[in-house]
Amino acid sequence: MTRKTYETIIIGAGISGLACARSLQEKDRDFLIIGEDVGGRILTSADGSANYGAFFVCSDYHHLLQYVKIKSRIKLSNFCFHEEKKTYVFFEPKLIKYSVQFVKALKLLYKFRKAFHKFRKNSEIISQKNAIENDPFLYELYMQNAPDFVKKQKIQKGTDTYLSKALYSTTFSMINEMNAFSFLQFLLPMITPIYTFTFEKEKMIQPFQEKMICGYVDDVIYKNGQHKVKADGNTFYADNIVLATQIDWSKHFAGVKKTNKPASTNMLHVKGVPKSIVARKEYQLFAPPSNVQAMANLKDGTYLFYYRYERPSLENFFKDPHIIAHKYWNPAGTINGHALIECNRGNNMYLIGDFNVCGLEESYITGIYAANQIINSG
Ligand X SMILES: Cc1cc2nc3c(=O)[nH]c(=O)nc-3n(C[C@H](O)[C@H](O)[C@H](O)COP(=O)(O)OP(=O)(O)OC[C@H]3O[C@@H](n4cnc5c(N)ncnc54)[C@H](O)[C@@H]3O)c2cc1C
Based on CB atoms, which residue is closest to ligand X, 56 or 98? 56
Question: Closest separation between CB of residue 223 and ligand X, Å?
Answer: 19
In whole angstroms, what is the distance from residue 321 CA to residue 318 CA?
6
The DSSP H or E segment spanning 110 is: helix 99-122
DSSP state of 161: I
The DSSP H or E segment spanning 20 is: helix 15-26
Based on CB atoms, which residue is closest to ligand X, 155 or 263? 263
Q: Collect all residues with Cβ–Cβ distance below 8 Å to 187 and sequence separation of at least 6.
A: 105, 109, 163, 166, 167
Based on CB atoms, which residue is closest to ligand X, 101 or 169? 169
Based on CB atoms, which residue is closest to ligand X, 101 or 170? 170
Using the Cα atoms of residue 196, residue 201, residue 205 and residue 207 in order, give the sign of their dihedral: negative
Binding positions for ligand X, rule: CB under 6 A: 11-17, 34-37, 40-42, 53-56, 216-217, 244-246, 249, 265, 267, 329, 332-333, 353-354, 358-360, 363
What residue number has its CB nearest to ligand X? 14
Based on CB atoms, which residue is closest to ligand X, 42 or 374? 42
DSSP state of 19: H
Question: Closest separation between CB of residue 254 and ligand X, Å?
Answer: 13
Q: How far is CA 270 from CA 301, 305, 306, in A?
A: 9, 7, 10
Question: Closest separation between CB of residue 353 and ligand X, Å?
Answer: 3
Based on CB atoms, which residue is closest to ligand X, 164 or 362? 362
248 with 331: CB under 8 angstroms? yes
Using the Cα atoms of residue 49, residue 51, residue 57 and residue 62 in order, give the sign of their dihedral: negative
Length of the chain: 378
- Quickly list DSSP for 237-278: EEEEEEE-S-HHHHHHHHT----PEEEEEEEEEEEEEEPGGG
Question: Closest separation between CB of residue 311 and ligand X, Å?
Answer: 16
Question: Closest separation between CB of residue 298 and ligand X, Å?
Answer: 14
Based on CB atoms, which residue is closest to ligand X, 37 or 140? 37
329: nearest Cα among 52, 44, 57: 52
β-strand pairing of 68-74 with 194-199: antiparallel
Question: Closest separation between CB of residue 164 and ligand X, Å?
Answer: 18
160: nearest Cα among 96, 80, 81: 81
Question: Closest separation between CB of residue 291 and ligand X, Å?
Answer: 16
Reduced to 3 states (helix: H, G, I; strand: E, B; else coil), residue 374 is: helix
Q: Measured over all CA atoms, what is the biggest interatomic distance in the chain, rounded to whole angstroms? A: 77
Question: Closest separation between CB of residue 287 and ligand X, Å?
Answer: 19
Based on CB atoms, which residue is closest to ligand X, 102 or 215? 215
* Adjacent-strand bridge partners of 212: 33
Based on CB atoms, which residue is closest to ligand X, 101 or 246? 246
DSSP state of 175: G
Question: Closest separation between CB of residue 181 and ligand X, Å?
Answer: 15
